[in-house]
Amino acid sequence: MHIAILLLAVAGAWGTRRYCAGAIERCHREARSWRERWSWAIGAIVVPALWFMIAVLAVGVMGTHGTMFGYSVSAIGLWFSGSLLATITVLLIVLLGRSWQIQRELQHYPSTAFTSPKLGQTLEIRTIASPSWFAGQVGIVTPELTIGRSLLTSLAPEQLEAIVAHECAHAHYHDTLIFFLLGWLRRWTSWLPQTRDIWHELILLRELRADRWAAQYVDPLLLAETLLTVARSAQTSSAQTATGTPTIAGIGFHDFASVDSFETRINALIDHEIEPDTPPSMSLDSCHRDDRLTLTIDGWLWAVLACFPLLAVPFHHV
């Protein structure tokens, strides 16, 4: 019966992923708000993974003795669950080890103070000797703003401030931590349908949200111009991902190097689509409250759905 529970978890994860992917496609066709797209994309990554993890925990709680629905349970399901849990744990440890190593190496690079009049604060920036035009938050829990030396010397001060504002948005939303965990879930559920497309959707929505936050402090047109400049540089440099730039443990200004994603972000900034479903007169704080409220409610709904495999536990009798 334990094997049956795990197979049901596979079926539930597969069905949930397909349903969420279909909902995302409907959101695109009907031009729905970014919040709704975000909710479905998060659910498509998180819920199937939680189906597996909770099913594994349920099997572990029930053990190898007793019966379910009159059928005896065996050690095969428990052994399989233990192997799966060990694999997932090892993957997490490996990813954490890489991140720790990269952040440790980052300490060897100099840090400089950058004063942003628009943001009204002074920030510490790590400068790395990278030929690529890299700018991003590197780290998981306490990321550091990191910028390539070539980018620092190539952009105008106002363009650099636009990039810094965008990266401060990622720190504000704790994107490095959230997307590290989402990336971990994505890696061991990559066999599910449309994983790559959904991941790209999440990255695009993440960048649109950061652009929206930054556009409250800097000129949206300046941010769009800067994005276009950096995008052109990235496309002409084929060595962007092979220069040792620490993108594994962080989030870069143009991680998703797709022409479509660049066009979407630039068009949103040019057309002032900073908040598609919120009146421009609303304050930034109220927008943030709406974001948190929407994602909190959606998160609880997804959590309840993901706990469905626990319903099998009361039917186990020792």
Classify residue 245 as exposed, middle or buried by CB count within 10 Å of its CB (0-12, 13-18, 19+): buried
Average pLDDT of the residues in 300-307:
64
Q: In which domain, by residue range, is 171 found? A: 2-317
Q: What's residue 258's pLDDT?
A: 62
The answer, yes or no, to whether residue 110 has pLDDT greater than 70, is yes
**pLDDT interval class at 211 (50, 70, 90):** very high
- In percent, how much of the chain has pLDDT > 90? 31
Residues 309/12, Cβ–Cβ less than 8 Å: yes
Q: Out of 77-81, 177-181, 236-240, which region has the weakest mean confidence (pLDDT)?
A: 236-240
* Average pLDDT estimate for 135-154: 88
Q: pLDDT for 263-303, tens place per residue?
A: 888 888 888 654 444 433 333 344 444 444 444 445 566 66
199 versus 278: the higher-pLDDT residue is: 199
Residue type (1 letter), 165: A
Helix (H) or strand (E) holding 269: helix 259-270
pLDDT band at 178 (very low <50, low <70, confident <90, very high): very high
**Cβ 73 vs Cβ 2: under 8 Å:** yes
In this predicted structure, the answer to whether residue 186 has a pLDDT above a threshold of 90 is yes
More confident residue, 230 or 62: 230
**Helix (H), strand (E) counts: the chain:** 10, 8
The answer, yes or no, to whether residue 28 has pLDDT greater than 50, is: yes
Q: How many residues does the chain have?
A: 318
Higher pLDDT, 129 or 179: 179
Confidence of residue 318 (pLDDT cuts 50, 70, 90): very low
d(CA 293, CA 30): 23
pLDDT for the residue 133:
77
Q: Quick one: residue 205, left, alpha or beta (phi over 0 = left, psi -120 to 50 = alpha)?
A: alpha
The tally of domains found in the chain comes to 1
Give me the mean pLDDT over the 170-187 stretch: 93
pLDDT averaged over every residue in the chain: 78
Question: How confident is the model at residue 205, as a pLDDT?
Answer: 92
Where is mean pLDDT largest: 47-51, 73-77, 94-98, 231-235? 94-98
Coil, strand, or helix at residue 112?
strand
113, pLDDT greater than 80: yes
pLDDT at 97 over 70: yes
The pair phi, psi for residue 94, each rounded to 5°, is: -65, -45
pLDDT classification of 25: cutoffs 50, 70, 90: very high
Report residue 234's pLDDT band, with 50, 70 and 90 as the boundaries: low
Asked if residue 240 lies in contact with residue 73, where contact means CB atoms within 8 angstroms, the answer is: no
The secondary structure of 149-214 as a DSSP string is: HHHHHHS-HHHHHHHHHHHHHHHHTTHHHHHHHHHHHHHHTTTSTTHHHHHHHHHHHHHHHHHHHH
Q: What's the pLDDT score for residue 278? A: 41
- Looking at residue 170, its amino acid is H
Calpha distance 32→24 (Å, rounded)? 9
pLDDT of residue 65: 59
Tokens of 91: 């993957």
Identify the band that residue 240 occupies on the pLDDT scale cut at 50, 70 and 90: very low
- Give me the sheet containing 71-72, strands edge to edge: 71-72, 67-68, 316-317
The pTM of the whole model exceeds 0.85: no
Q: Among 223, 219, 165, 206, which residue's Cα sits nearest to residue 291? A: 206
- For residue 275, CA distances in Å to 35, 156, 164, 200, 271 come to 10, 27, 20, 20, 11
pLDDT for 119 beyond 60: yes
CA distance 252 to 137: 7
